[in-house]
A and B are shown apart, each in its own frame.
Chain A
Amino acid sequence: MRHGLTLKIGPAAFRVGSDWRAPIADLRTLYADYPPAPDGFADFTVRLEAKRPWRRFVRPSVHLGGDYMLPDALPLSLAHGLLAAEMGMNLQMALGWRRHLLIHASAVEKDGRALILTGESGSGKSTLAAMLGERGWRLLGDEFTLLDLDSDSVRGFPRLVSLKNAGIAAVEAVADAARFGPRLEATPKGAIRHLVPRADAIARMDEPAAPALLLYPRYGFDAATRRLAKSENFMRLTQASTNYVALGERGFGTLSRFVESVPALALDYSDGEAGIAEVERLWTEHVG
């Protein structure tokens, strides 16, 4: 392919190739502080490709390819090339990574212990994690939380944080403007803007943390908290994991131990500030 780079994020290394310069230039800027793949070895390859040669120029549309692909993925416009690259890396992890149990969740760390935020798209977990990351917590990851199959610890995977819609302005108010990517309008998920994690989150990305609290935030509801039964928590986490089934018995073991040892609460909140305050209160109450 004409343009490419490699990146190491936590335990995984990626090679991203593109038929166009722009998406790779965006990645180079935003991932400037991340190491390249050691000795050039990438666990996964992502391709941003023109399906036909002339589609590099005429109504350019980015077809997402790579080691692991979805059969019917729709192409994206070239203006959303950065999003395509991010989606491509997510897809490789979701379908190909087996070294950890993957939970669709954000996570932050304090004093060696991890707070994990999971929930549906739009629940506000990315926004909350980004805001906590600006307030003394270390961001462990946005899209995926990686649980070690042997030690049960949380492994950092601090990719760019993908902020959406109302979450963008909330984080713009508290984070350094230089750490934001371009604002992408009218993507399939609405407006998106990527945030580079703080320098310490990148520098310490190989430091694991012990899981201490799991929250299911829900944005836009009257304030309420509810303790989840282990059974419900377990079932919801099997749904939130991309590789639980593929890991077989090891995945079951890891998830069972996680549910036994980590308290889980559902947290409804109406606005960002109130949400942050409630998260920190629950952390003090359950973790210390």
Chain B
Amino acid sequence: MSAVRDLVAVLRDPAVALAFDGARWTRLLSVARAEVLDGTLAHRCADLALPAPIAAMLADIRSASETATRRAVWEAEMARRALAPLGVAVILLKGTTYAAAGLDPAPGRQIGDLDILVPRDRIDAVEAALLGNGWEWVKQDDYDDAYYRRWMHELPPLVHSERDRMIDVHHTILPLTARPTPDAAAMIADAVPIGDGGLMMLSREDMICHAAAHLIADGDLAGGLRNLWDIDRLLRQFASDAPDFWDRLATRADRHDLGPAVARAVRLAHRLYATPLPNDWHKGARSDAVFVRRLLARNGWGQETHGVNRFAFYVRSHLLRMPLRQLLPHLATKWRKRGLGGTG
């Protein structure tokens, strides 16, 4: 079995890794690192009786991820403090949410930037407050800056000058140019507190909608195995807590224009991670196989494979984000800037 299929199989059922020899573990670990699932893998395998060198490396990975998680959650607290005087609730998105709220995808999950969601009409105040509290713009040119502000679902990225951590301030969950238009106001209105520390998170249904939008309706599926793992863990957790979860999820996905994206993400989670689904969620599309192929496009050295399929998803990601009449001038500008020595 290929190393990337090994990764999926071990995440699903860690005990299968007991049969792997050292060389197979080497390939597994390379693929897991390339897919940024090494922390998750290390946690899933924490209780296995493995040879000492492998167990030691997995323990290292777990301790690294513990430190990284602590820093990420602290960064969320720093943002909360910076925005508290505005009376704007900080709604966490993605990885930081899972860690701060102790949700099931959290153990070992890598967390990159801090992603938060705030109401669009408060975005200027939020930006000013962050700039006043040590965050600064990552250097970019006027075109990129203007592009972000006019068309994107988030501010241009800001980085904290001392802690060197990036924050993405979203006002909705998909670019404004994308075809589906999720109801960001409803997401914000239905957000729920995380414990009593003053941070917020999306409702359970919205959390799945966002994860599915991010995976299926935005981007080129890079890091898709990780995002799909989040979806698998969240679905298992939420569905076992509330029997009517699936119906509420379907209703909510339709409201956000995300019915097909959510259905696709759910089916893919089932195909790869065996997420238990109700019968009416099984109805598959033949194109799911193309997505699976893209998600598994990596060899045992950790290198990307299936160039054509990969490139097709790259093109698709641009077409999803904006109509062709807007995409072509955008790419032309980017290309011209690259020619002039810009960073594209």
Contacts and interface: CB of A to CB of B under 8 A. Distances in A.
A67 B35 CA distance: 10
Interface in A49-96: 49, 65-68
Contacts of B34: 67
Classify the interface of chain B: helix, strand, loop or mixed. Answer: helix
B54 A41 contact: yes
Contact of B26 (A1, A41, A47, A49): A41
B301 A1 contact: yes
- Where chain A touches its partner, the secondary structure class is mixed
A47 B301 contact: yes
Contacts of B56: 99
B57 interface: yes
A39 B22 contact: yes
A97 B22 CA distance: 19
Interface residues of A, number: 26
A248 B56 CA distance: 18
A253 interface: no
B146 to A, nearest CB: 25
Nearest to B54: A41
A38 interface: yes
B30 to A, nearest CB: 4
B64 A15 contact: no
Most chain A CB atoms below 10 A, which of B26, B29, B34? B26
A68 to B, nearest CB: 7
Interface string A208-223: 0000000000000000
20 contacts: A15-B26, A15-B30, A37-B26, A39-B23, A40-B21, A40-B23, A41-B23, A41-B51, A43-B29, A43-B53, A47-B302, A65-B303, A66-B302, A67-B34, A97-B60, A246-B67, A246-B68, A248-B67, A248-B70, A250-B63
Given A45-B29, A45-B301, A47-B301, 14 more contacts: A1-B303, A40-B26, A41-B23, A41-B54, A43-B57, A49-B303, A65-B302, A65-B303, A66-B302, A67-B30, A67-B34, A67-B302, A98-B61, A248-B67
Interface of B: 21-23, 25-26, 29-30, 33-34, 51, 53-54, 56-57, 60-61, 63-64, 67-68, 70, 301-303
